[in-house]
Amino acid sequence: MNTRRNPKETAKRGTRSHSNSHSKPNGKLNHKAKAPAAPKSFTVNEPSELLPFLLVHITGRGRNAIKSILSRGQVAVNGKVVTQHNFQLHPGQTVTIDQEKPVQVAEMIGLTIVHEDDDLIIIQKDAGLLSIATAEENELTAYRQLMEHVRISNPKNRIFVVHRLDRDTSGVMMFAKSERIQQALQTTWKDTVKERSYVALVEGAVKRPEGTVSSWLKETSTLKMYSSPHEGDGLHAITHYKLIQANRHFSLLEVKLETGRKNQIRVHMADIGHPIAGDKKYGAETKTVGRLGLHARVLSFIHPTTGELMTFESPIPKTFLKYTAPAPTN
């Protein structure tokens, strides 16, 4: 991931380093050190979620304090650290609480934090990870993991969704650390975001070196987007594309959005007869890629607090380059 920004301004803004180093205290205490509290273990006798179980067994601590203990990685179930407050417990399991255990940063699954300051978190999301779940879904998401991450330092901390990537789209994504920053970004999105570009692996050989697709998008009752044949019927969507490389089976395109509609790139690539590789929903026939051929490569924006131009660029997935490599010439 490449980033371009002024390191001095970054330092002023309070950027956090994601390392595992620990500072060592200097000097010696003159008073006798208090003996560390021994870990406590409890056996689960009936089904329960983890947080209610801990509220019963940890006396003198409120809900937020216990959530903080969870976030710090100081609770284990059958020897495995658990940070989810709604983790389901079953009879016979052993819950161990070790408040003297060094704080553990929860391992991120399917995402990497590439930048964090007092206002924003920028991540690179892998294909297959949901940005945020619906009310009916209860699975691991980028939002849920980042919420646990910010609550390590303070259980009252929260994060806020600014925009989304489809589950099967990889790449650069932004979250806000306050509702004020979220609203500032969303209300000025068109002016704040200077570049938002993708790379798309599409089926077939795209002949035109570049082009623009403009249509009015609507959604069916089965939640599938499509371009309406009638002007003004739906949400206006504009997509620009440029050919990077191609062979007779696949093409690699740089895609820039002038608007940000649901499934916009996927619909527009299907409209020009070159659906995104692996995108069965919108007419793709290939399965060999093993994922959706869409990657959010560049996100460039004006920082809502400092006014600094920040640009985050993610490399093109090697799979995309492999499948679009031109045929060797004799």
Cα distance between residue 214 and residue 204, in whole Å: 21
| Greatest C-alpha distance within the chain | 81
Cα distance between residue 75 and residue 108, in whole Å: 18
Q: How many CA atoms lie within 13 A of 141 on its CB side?
A: 20
Q: Which residues contact 7 (CB under 8 A, 6 or more apart)?
A: none
Residue 182 to residues 28, 174, 189, Cα–Cα distance (Å): 46, 10, 10
Of 252, 256, 281, nearest in space to 266 by CA? 281
> Between β-strands 160-161 and 120-125, what pairing exists: parallel, antiparallel or unpaired?
unpaired
Of 164, 194, 199, nearest in space to 269 by CA? 199
Q: Catalytic residue numbers?
A: 166
Q: Torsion-angle region of residue 153: left (phi > 0), alpha (psi -120 to 50) or beta?
A: alpha
66 residue type, one letter:
I
Q: Using CB atoms within 10 Å of the CB of residue 187, give its burial: 0 to 12 exposed, 13 to 18 middle, 19+ buried.
A: exposed
Q: Using CB atoms within 10 Å of the CB of residue 271, give its burial: 0 to 12 exposed, 13 to 18 middle, 19+ buried.
A: middle
